[in-house]
Structure 1
Amino acid sequence: MASILDRKAIVAPKHFNRWFIPAAALAIHLCIGQVYAFSVFKIPLMSRFDVGEVSVGWIFSVAIAMLGLSAAFGGTWVEKSGPRKSMVVAGTAWVLGFFVAALGIATGQLWLVYFGYGFIGGIGLGIGYIAPVSTLMKWFPDRPGLATGLAIMGFGGGALIASPMSNALMVLFGGGTETENLASGLVPTFVVLALSYAVIIAAGAYVIRLPHPEWKPDGWDPSKVEATPMQTNLNVSANKALKTPQFWFLWIILFTNVTAGIGILENAAPMIQDYFPGVTAAAAAGFVGILSLANMGGRFIWSTASDYIGRKNIYLLYLGVGALLYLVIAFFGGSSLALFIVSAMLLLSFYGGGFSTIPAYLRDMFGYYQVGAIHGRILTAWAAAGIAGPLIVNSVVESQSAAGNQGPELYTLSMYIMVGLLVLGLIANVLMRPVAKKYTVEYAEQQQEVTTDAYSK
């Protein structure tokens, strides 16, 4: 069993069709992307455990926090072990997390839901998220933005499938559309989702391959590729990357963009019902699905566009226009359902685009060497945002509700906070410059040669 999971067992022949690899990546990302449909479970879980917004919101926050931490600490292991073994480990943790969470719901133990879906499932999220990304960039060296968009598109689209399916399963097993019915259908829904994801992830792990050492895309000559001012042909190790200001600017950029996106996504279903009381639970689930479509589309469209206009320029769009859209929702969102939905969709497309573009931005700054490990470490920003985003919005909602406010007034303050965060990210992006050569592997090797020559003389 170990041999068929190892790197050497999955090296593709020279003429392997590289378009099978995006399908394998989509298999796992569509499954773990279910986390973005978590807001569908929010009201039923609040009813099942008789708790408030913050208590249930922490389940999502723990999952995202563990995603970032497991990606950071597991990034080097993923690079060493290869994508197949990583996908199997990730799938096992993700599925096991659902089963443990189902046990917690059935027994009325909320801490088991935290531990299952949040802690164990979050480990599966982190390993599963980064497992195919560096592999896809190796298969698409000619189009790194397209590659990362293909890899991460599925994560954004997971909720597009999971949101309506989860709602339908809760209705089926619970015997109705009322909140108490949906709460009754939670346990079998979690079990069905777990079994489905186990099969799909196993299929993706079977298909995944690494490129042959002598393979390269038809018609692509790496020697003729010219680096742009914000793109290097040199390489930086994961440890050295942490010492560069560029890594921390990118950390701030990712943190602010993700916090702003999660602020809407994690609360999407209850938010639209608070803004527009006539919206039903089924329609709210549909809204989550629409946002997932925008999230998924943004991951492919914007990251592909970054191959042409540059990563720095595309983040000016994500952060600058994103701040303006949050102001639109704060001032006018409650007056028009169409305006609210369009603004939220654009924000989620920028959110998704930010995720899919960050690996290519890292490749531009630090080269291909250990880019997977660097990607894993920068996802600690996602872990922090996974806590900050829901905590900001849920805390504001609870405090505003206690003050007697309702409807859009519950969220206005949190919208202004998100604007401030996006402006901070915008400043960090403006300050981005190429990484100094002293941090590169090539510079270190050159210095070693100089030292060796001097010693020999």
Structure 2
Amino acid sequence: MKSPFQAIKWHYSSTHYERSQKQIDREEWLIPGVLRFNRFFLMPAAVVMQVCCGSLYAWSGYNLPIERAIFGPNLNAAGVAIDRGQASNVFFVAVAVFGLTSAILGPWLERNGPFKGAVLGSTLFFLGNLLAGLGVQVKSLELVFFGYGFVGGAGLGVSYIAPVSPLQKWFPDLRGLAAGLAVCGFGAGSIFSPFTQKALIGANYANTGVENLGVPKTFVILGCCYFFLMTLSAFVLRMPPPGYQIKGIDIHTVKGAENFANTAPTQTVTKTMHDDPVIDKTESTHTVVDVQHNQPSSSAFALSLSEALKSKEYILMYIMFFCAEITGLLIISKIQSIVQNQLGKGADVAANINSALGGCNLAGRLILPTLSDFLGQRKPLFLFSLVVQTIFLAILPNAIGSQQYILTLICAFAIAFCYGGGFGLIPAFLADQFGSKNVGATHGVILTAWALAGVGGGLIFNKIYKMEVARLKPDLLHAYDLNFRWILAFVCLGVLITLFVPTNLRDRRLPKKTGETLRFRLINGRLVRVFGFKPVMYSKAEEDHEWAEYLSTMETTAR
């Protein structure tokens, strides 16, 4: 019997997915005997599932209605509108559980397939919505926390990664586009959900108490709709068949190893290739003959899941992702309150802004990763998104404090765009670095950085906000200034960390020399090693010679 430590170690070391031949044959069809499966069917299914999951981003529209339903009118003794800041914490708990569930069940999903993951996730999210509705009905904020925050958050965590993993495996030739489409729906959820929530609850319920169907029934109705759509999408999700590859790239291939054949060294291999082996086996084929001498196969550069999670580049990417997502996450969670309480706009305008912010989030998730396919790199665009956030986050406190409505929106929209771009880029970035075989697990674990930003950053954000409200009232225009300053420090750290994420295969795999403490590349591509505090620059010829020796060593070892 395995000890708990051995069980955890095994859980994060194995991502092997075992299927019977019968299942593989069955998965060649979307509708048995009627419609063959096509990898492009995955894209709309992923978008639909993510739209439902993305309703989480419209939680700020629930804050004031829930607080009125449970505690009474959202007014202080002087009759001034207030935000108690209690229901908003449900969002941060859901984010935390979302990330933890993704990290824990990421390897499980890889071993069991996306269909089981999607069904489990949609069921938990459905139950979470029902429990949240019941909590409002019986005036128990604790039950809302448990239902939506814990049960619903767990369902969202599984459902989010369920379509991301297969899309990265089916589209090794378009990892950026596949990642963008896999997660762009999450941004779309915050476009539609504020309007459906407001229409079902009652347009001005938070302010007037006049309801349409009310908060509890809204949770039930939307929960049922989400469950139906997510479960329907689950039937489309599947992994590619064994041996599947596009343009020589398979689930093991890391960025930079594409030019190494997927064959054993010093071996001649003849193989028949289909442009898409599962789509139609009757289509035209071509034969490729690979003769490789004295070089390792591309799979020789692959990492196991445990090796990936312990690597220096993964740790740096984790910190980078945390810093890139904390700003947008906290702004999205409070945008409707800021628009109403600081900028003096109505609930209708606040809902519209929330939706527009969701549109920017969606655009970033789709545009930046798609551009990364054309660029052939993810890191420069990640760096771009962090720099943009740094600039606009520095401007935002003054924009809100002086009630410059348009400037505030420009800042918020730019940050939301870059926030979404980070989410769109990260699955493809991880697949480049560690292979798509591990992407469900590596992506799941890195989402704990987002969860940490949500629960840790969110609770700190709310605590500081309440302190500033008490200090500054009745003038609350600068109530967010202190919060935006400490967040800015993390974004600046993210810029610095991103610069040191190694993406070049040589930088990542060439063994360290004695005394080497750091390595990086200049703009002209020259390799620089730092020994203690002394930098040493290498010529291209020196680097090529060292790389050739390393490949020769790998080839000898493979024999």
Q: Taking structure 2 as the reference length, what is the TM-score of the superposition?
A: 0.73
> 1:215: Cα distance to partner?
5.2
The equivalent position to 2:28 in structure 1, one of 5, 12, 17, is 12
8 Å CA contact 1:252, 1:381 repeated in 2: yes
The equivalent position to 2:414 in structure 1, one of 321, 325, 346, is 346
Alignment partner of 1:157: what SS? Answer: helix
Q: 1:143 to 1:347 in 2, by over 3 A?
A: same
Q: 1:288 to 1:9 in 2, by over 3 A?
A: farther
The equivalent position to 1:433 in structure 2, one of 481, 502, 521, is 502
Q: 1:353 to 1:140 in 2, by over 3 A?
A: same
Q: Which amino acid aligns with 1:33?
A: G
After TM superposition, list the pairs within 5 Å mapping 1:3-402 onto structure 2. Answer: 8=24, 11-12=27-28, 16-50=37-71, 53-171=84-202, 178-181=207-210, 185-213=214-242, 216=245, 220-222=247-249, 227-228=255-256, 234-277=301-344, 279-309=345-375, 310-333=377-400, 334-402=402-470
| Structure with larger Rg | 2
Structure 1 Cα separation of the partners of residues 391 and 45 of structure 2: 37
> 1:160: Cα distance to partner?
0.7
Q: 1:348 to 1:450 in 2, by over 3 A?
A: same
- Percent identity, aligned pairs only, is 33
> Going by fraction, where is strand more abundant, 1 or 2?
2
Q: 1:171 to 1:367 in 2, by over 3 A?
A: same
Structure 2 Cα separation of the partners of residues 307 and 201 of structure 1: 28
Tell me the alpha carbon deviations over residues 288-329 of structure 1, each in whole angstroms, 9 at most, x when there is no partner: 101011101110001111223321111111111101101111
> 1:362: Cα distance to partner?
0.9
Question: Which consecutive unaligned segments of at least 5 residues does structure 2 have?
Answer: 1-18, 31-35, 75-82, 261-297, 512-549
Does residue 422 of the first structure (1) align with residue 422 of the second (2)? no
> 1:9: Cα distance to partner?
7.3
> 1:179: Cα distance to partner?
4.7
Q: Which amino acid aligns with 1:432?
A: V
Structure 2 Cα separation of the partners of residues 176 and 392 of structure 1: 29
8 Å CA contact 1:11, 1:209 repeated in 2: yes
8 Å CA contact 2:465, 2:479 repeated in 1: yes
Structure 2 Cα separation of the partners of residues 352 and 239 of structure 1: 28
Structure 1 Cα separation of the partners of residues 434 and 115 of structure 2: 25
8 Å CA contact 1:7, 1:82 repeated in 2: no
Q: Which amino acid aligns with 2:372?
A: S
Q: 1:438 to 1:244 in 2, by over 3 A?
A: farther
8 Å CA contact 2:85, 2:462 repeated in 1: yes
Alignment partner of 1:379: what SS? Answer: helix
Structure 2 Cα separation of the partners of residues 258 and 104 of structure 1: 30
Q: Taking structure 1 as the reference length, what is the TM-score of the superposition?
A: 0.88
> 1:449: Cα distance to partner?
9.2
Superposition RMSD on alpha carbons, in Å?
A: 3.0
Structure 2 Cα separation of the partners of residues 231 and 221 of structure 1: 8
Tell me the alpha carbon deviations over residues 37-85 of structure 1, each in whole angstroms, 9 at most, x when there is no partner: 0000011122233396443222111111111110001001111111111
Structure 2 Cα separation of the partners of residues 433 and 318 of structure 1: 18
Q: 1:280 to 1:10 in 2, by over 3 A?
A: farther
Structure 2 Cα separation of the partners of residues 315 and 76 of structure 1: 26
Alignment partner of 2:235: what SS? Answer: helix
Structure 1 Cα separation of the partners of residues 144 and 259 of structure 2: 44
> 1:369: Cα distance to partner?
2.9
Q: 1:226 to 1:449 in 2, by over 3 A?
A: closer
> 1:13: Cα distance to partner?
5.3
> 1:379: Cα distance to partner?
1.1
8 Å CA contact 2:131, 2:143 repeated in 1: yes
> 1:416: Cα distance to partner?
1.1
Tell me the alpha carbon deviations over residues 235-270 of structure 1, each in whole angstroms, 9 at most, x when there is no partner: 222211222121111111111122111120000100
Q: 1:13 to 1:188 in 2, by over 3 A?
A: closer
8 Å CA contact 2:305, 2:441 repeated in 1: yes
Q: How many residues align?
A: 438
8 Å CA contact 1:230, 1:365 repeated in 2: no
Ranges of 4+ aligned residues in structure 1 off by more than 6 Å:
229-232, 446-449
8 Å CA contact 1:57, 1:391 repeated in 2: no
Greater mean alpha carbon deviation, residues 73-82 or residues 331-340: 331-340
Q: Which amino acid aligns with 2:485?
A: Y
8 Å CA contact 2:255, 2:433 repeated in 1: no
